[in-house]
Structure 1
């Protein structure tokens, strides 16, 4: 039904309630009436029989539905600092009476509410919806039960949301307000064909198990790289992102020509490995809580990783170009790499 013209029916005065719970995670910041046409809340039978000849009449909440519900929420759940400021959208709020016999009215209360939250990135999220209601039976001459039943139905909807939010906040990623990454480097030597970077375990010639390539510019070659894995979990409204960084060399892709297993050549290949460790460290330092958003932290990390991967390849090419056939250039790179490794606390 659409909006009704004013009637002489006395409006319902919705009183505040005393809920059996105290919300600690949320406060209702806004109440919006989104019912189509915004009809009267209640359709009540008149006090005078015969009922069959007198259809239910529109009865509004005092002050209008939106204002009355906003006042009810404000008085029932006084505003306090909370993690989530929520908008309650009223999709349905209706009291409908039908006749029972000649002198009684049966009431059916129907509620449909939606609870929204605007996350730190400004995106509105519908967290959950509530559908419920209540029933009552009253004498035609006495409407005293109508308002308390509606009041308790509304309190039930707020109790439902409080319970839902308390449970969901522990694991629902949509409710996260920030991302907190922590990083650790994988150093266990658990895979037979892979060497993981460990400052205490440098490369040895035994790690070069690949077949030598046809004669070319280089006496040996190693192909280090790095990857990351993220394991998110929500703790107290924060995405705790456990990041595992793996800097590695694949043994079967690394090779050395016969008779070229010198300390100088091994140092050159080790420095390729060190460069990847430095690039991974710079990648780690870019992934700060301020740089990661709740909604897009995965794509932000992927983009930073691709940029770091490009940086790694560029530095490796520059390193080879400058050091090939030049012991002095090699020594300069040795000093530069060691200085950065110390700067980041990777080596003492």
Structure 2
């Protein structure tokens, strides 16, 4: 009877020496209140899931898996919700936990450990379809070493807590510094158009209501085998620059409706005022397309995340529209031979130019 009781006592003692434990992040008031963001989501993206640590808990026993209380995501979320004052109307930030790992070695009753900590922060948003998007902002990575007595693990929670607070401080500093000047963090967008209407002496004629085409602009040699009396090369393009001020993206587009002299030609017998008007109207159509392009590029038609792609798409669409309109114009006027149709197009083009404020 005595031996049995002794055996039970030893078993109980062994169980007491190997308790089931967790790492706890004790409360710690955070010294700042975010003015540019709130933490919306926390996601575990560690390559090694499961307990964050294998700890030396009992002398001469193998390290035991130990996790943060409630798991890494719940532990971080609870700590942030309890200690960081948040305004949910501010920018939503996602925390991506890339690494939170504790490794230890024990020599006798002294344990040395290393903590690797790595989190990434992303700005959450939505695309045109309503699907969630995320934009990479900044990251925080740290390592820390510690020593502890065999039976005490509080230093681990304290060190992880310090790393988490440091990462949030780093995010707060980044947001305060970048909010007004970083395009990723912009809250609004404006568009400014400038028309390139320079009058130059080089090969390019930029559209200017006060500078009509002349036959001297048609410098190319007439194309051999062409059945046409003249050809004018016109097109349009844009150059874009953007800047951010006070959290607003300012998109500046320089628009160019132009004619190339060395790609345009006219036969000597065709160089009449009537034929020149027909070619001028091709140039007018190009200008109309640039004005239509402007109407497609307005702040309410653009997104902060993808405004540049939208501008490029609309440019391609209007370029196609220009080619189509030029073809219809030549088809209906029979390249200017049908005078009645030409007059209708003259009036139609003038009316649209007036609607854009180009022609009085």
Q: Deviations over 1:258-298 (max 9, x none)?
A: 36544333332222111110011112211233444456545
Provide Cα deviations, 1:22-80, integer angstroms capped at 9, x if missing partner: 4333221122344534215572545xxxx5x3555555444443322111111232331
| Alignment-derived partner of residue 9 in structure 2 | none
Q: How many residues align?
A: 338
Indicate conservation of the 8 Å contact 2:234/2:257, yes or no: yes
Deviation sequence 1:205-240 (CA, Å, 0-9, x none) = 332223345697654432211122233445566654
Q: Quick one: which of 20, 40, 48 aligns to 1:29?
A: 40
Matched, 1:15 2:26: yes
1:317/1:96 CA distance change after superposition, 3 Å: closer
User: What is the 5 A alignment of 1:72-221?
Assistant: 72-81=79-88, 84-99=91-106, 104-121=110-127, 122-139=132-149, 145-165=155-175, 180-190=190-200, 192-213=202-223, 219-221=229-231
Q: Which moved more, 1:63-72 or 1:215-224?
A: 215-224
Aligned mates of 1:247, 1:160 — CA distance in 2: 48
Please name the residue that 1:325 is paired with.
Answer: 337
Does the residue aligned with 1:15 lie in a helix, a strand or coil? coil
What residue ranges of structure 1 are gaps of 5+ in the alignment?
1-5
Q: Does 1:70 align with 2:80?
A: no
Q: Does the C-alpha gap of structure 1 residues 17 and 236 become closer, same or farther in structure 2, counting only changes over 3 Å?
A: farther
Aligned to 2:296: 286
Counterpart Cα distance in 2 of 1:215 and 1:128? 63
Aligned residues of 1:12 and 1:59 also touching (Cα < 8 A): yes
Q: Is the 8 A contact 1:44 1:59 kept in 2?
A: no
Question: Partners in 1 of 2:73 and 2:136 — Cα distance?
Answer: 19
Instruction: Tell me if structure 2 keeps the 8 A contact 1:169–1:175.
Output: yes
SS, match of residue 123 in structure 1 = strand
Aligned equivalents of 1:259 and 1:60: distance in 2?
91
- Is residue 350 of structure 2 the alignment partner of residue 338 of structure 1? yes
The whole-number CA distance in structure 2 between the counterparts of 1:215 and 1:37 is 74
Alignment partners' CA distance in 2, 1:192 and 1:125? 45
Q: 1:248 aligns with which of 258, 274, 277?
A: 258
Call closer, same or farther: CA 1:299–1:65 in 2, change over 3 Å: closer
Q: What SS is found at the alignment partner of 1:119?
A: strand
Gaps of 5+ in 2: 1-15
C-alpha separation in 1, matches of 2:224 and 2:116: 81
| CA gap 1:329/1:146 in 2 versus in 1, 3 angstroms | closer
Structure 1 Cα separation of the partners of residues 313 and 157 of structure 2 = 57
